[in-house]
Amino acid sequence: MSAIKWSYLSGDTSTFAIEMSLLDDGVDDSMVDPDERASWGALRIWMNGRNVCMHEEQGELLTGAHWYLLPLIEWLTENWDAIFHEERLPFPTLTDRASRAALEADRRTFGLDDEPDWAAMTQVYEWRNRHSLRAGAEGGLLPDLWLRRSQDSLEVSVGLTRDPGTPSHFAYSIEGVAKVDLFSASQSLFDILSAVTAKLSDLQPESERIRTLCDVIESLKDGPSRYLARFAWLSGAGPDQEGFRTLWQEVETSLAAVDPSDIAGAVGEPEPGQLVLAGARLALLFGSTSPTISSGDVMVLTSLAAHPSDTVATVPGGWVEDEDNMNGLTPGEIGSDLGERAYEQFAKDRHVQDGHVDIKSLLDAWSVSHRTLKLSDRLLRGVSVYDTFGHAVVVANENYSRGNHITVHRFTLAHELAHLLLDRQSGSTLAVSSGPWAPKSIEQRANAFAAALLMPRELLLDAAKRTDGDLANYRTAQSIAARLRVSIASLADRLYNLGAVSRDDADALRAQAELALRRTHRH
C-alpha cells in the first residue's frame, strides 16, 4: 500500500485540473536515479469533471497513474511553448483532435506502395513528442492524453490507444476532448510544476538537475524573451527557425504600413510574467494557411489582422442555448442544424429577397465588413477576423481554385460568417484562414452551416414548388439553384444531406454541373 508523502492539486476539476502526489510504496528501486526515485508518485488529470487517469488494473479501479514524476515535469517544461502555442497538425485535413489525428497521421507515413515515408515519419514522431503525455514518461503507463493549442483555448484530448507492451489486465476507459481556457490552464499547470519541483528540491537539496529545472520553470514567465519562439509555434512555423526568420522579416516589413495603434492586436504583446501568447491574430491566421505562404499573402493577412474594419460589429453571441446537447452529433450535423436556426432567427424576416437569402444584407445589418481580396494560395477559400474591439471582416479569395462566380462568393461569405457565429468564444478574438490547413471539424461545420443558411428547408420547398418536383432532374436542380443563388454542386449535397435525393442522384447532378462548367470554359 502506497503512503502519500505530499500532494498538490491545481485547477478546477470541473473544467481542467491536475494533481501530483509523491508516494512511498516501500519498493526497492535503488537502481533508479536518486532524483527520479524521489519523484515516484501518482498523477491525476481532470477534464470536464472526469478523471482521465482513472483506470482498471487487475480488476481494481485506481484513481491515479503511477510513475516517476520528474521526467514528466521536465517534458512539460521543455515542450511548454509548443503545447500552448502549436495548433497545426502534422498534415492538412486531419481530424482536429490530436488523439485521433495521431492515428490518421501514422497511416499517412506509408505510401501507396506501402513503403515508409521516412521524412513524414520523422515529422509525426517529433510532433508526437511535443504533444503526447506519454512522451514524458517512457516506460510508464499513462493515459493517451494530448495537449495542444486551439485558437485561444487549450485542447485536451484523450484516446484509448494502448502502448505496445501494455499488460492485458491494465486499461484506461475515458475518451473525449475539451477546450479549456488558455490562461487558467497554463496558470494551473505552471503552479503545479513550481510546487512539485520546490518539494523535490527540499527532498534532494544537492540535486543540480532539480535546481536547473526550477530555473527553467521560472523562465516560462519571461514573455519578452520567449515571444518570438511562441509566435513561431503559433504561426505554424514550429521548429523551422530559418523559415520563421524569413516569415518574420516579411511581417516586420508589412507592419511598417500599419498604424502603430493596431500592431499589438495583430502580433500580440510580450509582457513579463506572461505564460502564453494570446490575441496574436496574425499568428493564428498563419497557423491555418499553407506552410509555404507567399510574401504577398503575408502582406494581405497582416493588414487584415491589424485592422479588420472601421466599424464595431454586432454579431450575436450566446444564441445557441443547447450546445452541450450536440456532443453526439457530427460537425456536419451541428452545422446544418445551426444554419437552419440562423435562418429562422436572423435572416427569414429581413434578409430574404426574391426567394434567396441576401447574405450581404445580413452582414451589413451586423456591421461585418465583407470584401474580396486576391490571395496567391488558390486552396484558400476565405478569411474571417474578429478583433478585441469587436471589428469584424469576412473575405473571399478572388483566386480561389473553385472560381469566383457569384454562387461561390455567396457560399464563402456564409462560410466565413459561420466562423464568426460559431467559433468565436464570448468576448474573444478570432482569426481563421479557411483552407486545407484549417481545423477539419470547424471547416466541415462551417460548410454545413453555410449550406443550411443559404438553402433552408423553407426556401428549398418554395423553389421546388415552382418546378415539376423531380429533384434528381438536372433542369429542376438548375431552376432551384438559380432561385437560391447557389451552385448545383452545393444544392446536390444539401438535397442528399436532407434525404431528398440518393447519393447516386447527387453525384449525377454534380457530374452534369461539372460537365456544363467545362463546356462554358471551352467556349
The confidence score (pLDDT) of residue 195 equals 98
The confidence score (pLDDT) of residue 258 equals 84
Please give the helix or strand (H or E) that residue 284 lies within, else none. Answer: helix 281-287
What is the fold of 323-454?
A: Arc Repressor Mutant, subunit A (1.10.10)
The confidence score (pLDDT) of residue 236 equals 87
> What percent of the chain stands above pLDDT 70?
97
Every domain of the chain with CATH number 1.10.10 lies at 323-454
Question: Does position 116 have pLDDT exceeding 70, yes or no?
Answer: yes
- Report the C-alpha gap between 334 and 326 in whole angstroms: 7
Question: Does position 518 have pLDDT exceeding 90, yes or no?
Answer: no
The confidence score (pLDDT) of residue 139 equals 86
pLDDT tens digit sequence for 236-259 = 887 877 788 888 888 888 888 888
pLDDT tens digit sequence for 260-287 = 888 887 888 889 999 999 878 888 888 8
Cα-based angle 391, 394, 395 (whole degrees, multiple of 5)? 130
Half-sphere exposure of 123 (CA within 13 A, CB side): 19
Give the number of other Cβ atoms within 10 Å of residue 291's Cβ.
15
The confidence score (pLDDT) of residue 54 equals 94
pLDDT tens digit sequence for 424-436 = 865 578 889 998 8
Q: What's the DSSP call for residue 343?
A: I
The confidence score (pLDDT) of residue 263 equals 83
More confident residue, 516 or 69: 69
The confidence score (pLDDT) of residue 361 equals 98
Q: Which range has the top average pLDDT, 103-112, 185-194, 225-234, 284-293? A: 185-194
Q: Smallest Cα–Cα separation from 504: which of 464, 467, 472, 476?
A: 472
The confidence score (pLDDT) of residue 520 equals 66
User: Do 297 and 105 contact (CB within 8 A), yes or no?
Assistant: no
SS3 150: strand
More confident residue, 116 or 191: 191
Question: Does position 6 have pLDDT exceeding 60, yes or no?
Answer: yes
SS3 312: strand
The confidence score (pLDDT) of residue 324 equals 66
Cα-based angle 408, 410, 413 (whole degrees, multiple of 5)? 110
Q: What share of the chain is helix, strand, coil (3-state, %, to 5)?
A: 45, 20, 35
pLDDT tens digit sequence for 393-435 = 999 999 999 888 999 999 999 999 999 999 886 557 888 999 8
Query: Which region among 108-117, 134-143, 321-330 has the lowest average model confidence (pLDDT)?
Result: 321-330
Per-residue pLDDT averaged across 478-495, rounded? 97
The confidence score (pLDDT) of residue 114 equals 78
Q: Return mean pLDDT, the chain.
A: 91
- Report the C-alpha gap between 435 and 344 in whole angstroms: 28
